[in-house]
Amino acid sequence: MKDNLSILFNQNNNIKGNLVSIILPLYNEEQSIPFVIEELFEHLNSKLNHYDFEITFIDDCSTDKSFEIIKTYSKISPKNIKVSVIKLTKNSGSHVAITAGLNIVRGDLVVIMASDGQDPASVINNLIEEWEKGHKLILASRKDNLDHGFISKLASKLAWKLMNWSTKLNMPISGCDLLAMDKKVVQSFNRMDERNTTFIFRILSLGYAFKELQYVKRERREGSSKWTFWKKISIIIDAATGFSNRPLKMITNIGLLIFLILVLRWCYVVFKIYILKEEPSELTIILNTVFTSLSINILLLGIIGDYIWRILDETRKRPLYEISEIEGQIFKLNEDRNDF
Answer yes or no: are the C-beta atoms of 251 and 303 closer than 8 Å: yes
pLDDT, tens digit (0-9, with 9 covering 90-100), for 4-61 = 434 434 444 555 788 999 999 999 999 999 999 999 999 999 989 899 999 999 999 9
Q: Which of the residue ranges 172-176, 282-286, 331-335 would you say has the lowest mean pLDDT?
A: 331-335
For the cut 70, the answer to whether the pLDDT of residue 165 exceeds it is no
How many CA atoms within 13 Å lie on the side-chain side of 153? 12
The pLDDT score that the predictor gives to residue 142 is 78
Longest dimension (CA), the chain: 93
The pLDDT score that the predictor gives to residue 2 is 40
The pLDDT score that the predictor gives to residue 201 is 77
Domain coordinates of the chain in residue numbers?
A: 2-243+319-328, 246-316
Percent of the chain's residues with pLDDT above 70: 63
pLDDT, tens digit (0-9, with 9 covering 90-100), for 217-269 = 887 766 555 555 555 556 556 655 555 556 666 666 676 677 677 667 777 76
More confident: 173 or 244: 173
- The rounded distance, in Å, linking the Cα atoms of 330 and 322 is 20
Superfamily of domain 2-243+319-328: Spore Coat Polysaccharide Biosynthesis Protein SpsA; Chain A (3.90.550.10)
The pLDDT score that the predictor gives to residue 55 is 95
pLDDT, tens digit (0-9, with 9 covering 90-100), for 100-150 = 999 999 899 999 999 988 899 999 999 999 999 999 999 988 777 655 555
For the cut 70, the answer to whether the pLDDT of residue 323 exceeds it is yes
Average pLDDT of the chain to the nearest whole number: 77
* DSSP letter for each residue of 94-156: HHHHHHHHHHH---SEEEE--SSS-S-TTHHHHHHHHHHTT-SEEEEEEEEETTS-HHHHHHH
Q: In terms of residues, how long is the chain?
A: 340
- The rounded distance, in Å, linking the Cα atoms of 143 and 218 is 11
